[in-house]
Structure 1
Amino acid sequence: MSDVNKTSLIPAKAGIGLRFQHHQPVLDTNPDVAWMEVHTENYMGGGTPLRYLDAIRRDIPISLHGVGLSLGSAEGIDPAHLERIRKVAERVEPGLMSEHIAWNVVGGTYLADLLPLPMTEEALEVVCHHVDQTQTFLKRRILVENPSTYIAFGNSIIPEWEFMTAVAARTGCGILCDVNNICVSAHNHGWDACAYLAALPPAAVGEIHLAGYSVRPLADGNTLRIDDHGSRVSDEVWELYRQALARFGPVPTLIEWDNDVPPLDVLLQEAGHAGILIAAAEAESANANAA
């Protein structure tokens, strides 16, 4: 992928996910935030949302985060959807673009969820082919995000962290390390979250996501963590984020909040906390280099 643009215009600081209810507050208050990320599909229809985004991006760098490309679909990527993504990117000029390691299209019908893949060699070949296809079409590097999962396929033979690493190595894409997803999946499957982080290649990690999860009790007395993006970042995720910064260094970090979305100030507070941790990691790295 030597012809793919690998430049990021998103600073290695904390940003927030921009949601519709915050369009006007952002324009009214011009908040002190380093960057914002939007879901690509929300701006494919033009109209008022896109006009708001046009105004906001004049002052704040924007990243595009896709939720509907279905990189893991055995049916292949929908070329019409890929073209819609290209048109949004051409207009918005994002600093980063990302997609999910998941599938959500069957028989031409889009499903309202990001569904898990079996971690197999066949699935790896499918994902890598689609990432290559996407990067070639868009003429730029993308990041791929690790999923949050609740079940494991019996035929999965590749650990998820090795699957992610292999996609990045084979295609030249980057990794969007969702620390909350690692925390959720590690609990649900009995993985070691710290070992997952340690297995990812630092040079490939181009962004980090942070969010809140909910806990659902199960009949057998165990609990299931749900990646619902509906609350503040948990203490456990903050601690795992510190470890991520120590391993990957300061990278663009996003606060995601999609359900029960609070006032803008709450997201800015969470981003402020992430910013403090980024600054601490930068200082620690500088001290280590000076020693």
Structure 2
Amino acid sequence: MKEEYYQIGEVSRITGISKDTLHFYTKIGLVTPDYINPENHYHYYSRWNMYQLDIITTCRNLKIPLEKVKEIISSRDNEKVVKLLMEYQSEALRLSQYYRQVADDISWYYEENEHIKLQASDNKVHIVYFEPETVIVGNQKREDSSYHANLQDVINQEFQTTNFVRRKYGYFLDTERFYSNKIRKYREYVKLPDGDYSSINPEHLYTLPGGNYAVCTIPIENETADFSIIINWLKENHYRADAVFAEEVGFQLFKYIYHYYCEIKILLVSE
């Protein structure tokens, strides 16, 4: 019997598969020992069982699910096995692309966080020309104070079948409050870095106007800000604000923090 059959301890030592795992494979019907002693119920594995375990180990190293492994073991048809493996290859390639995207997104988030940590107030105002830019905006079903909930409604609708981890948040600021050195956000938007909005419902899109902007970076503290630097610059250079936007510097999952930086963008009109 020893020449033809192997006890479970021997099989475990030879294959590197634990006894518990071998018992589990038997329990789920993945492999059945060719001989079970009727008196003591000891399991004995044949050379065929050893081949089966070799196939199972190979499949598990390929991360093939147990259900698919069971199909492969039971088929005993190499052509069918190859067909099953090719089907799994397609799934593996899809998962590979997915996890590559996940890894890239995590790297992007890390870089965004490093950018935030290095951020500081910019005491200089710069004139920058921006082309018209499309963004995703929140609906206006609620009060202006619910700007974030209004945007989340849209995001939940639009991102159900897509995965947009990389994004930038911005806000429409009340111009009158801005001149009173107060911050009032009344609408929120999100920008996708790749600029591809082909899958987004047009009613959820808005085009930020192109033109010359006065730009500077300032900290937001407890939803208050000191705009005096840029307000004084506007007065000194005989400009007025046609529109005021604030875009968060970097992307952070914990949005509701007490201290963060925004790039303030003022669409300029000569007085």
TM-score higher than 0.5: no
Normalized against structure 1, the TM-score is what?
0.22
Q: Which has the higher strand share?
A: 2
Greater C-alpha Rg? 2
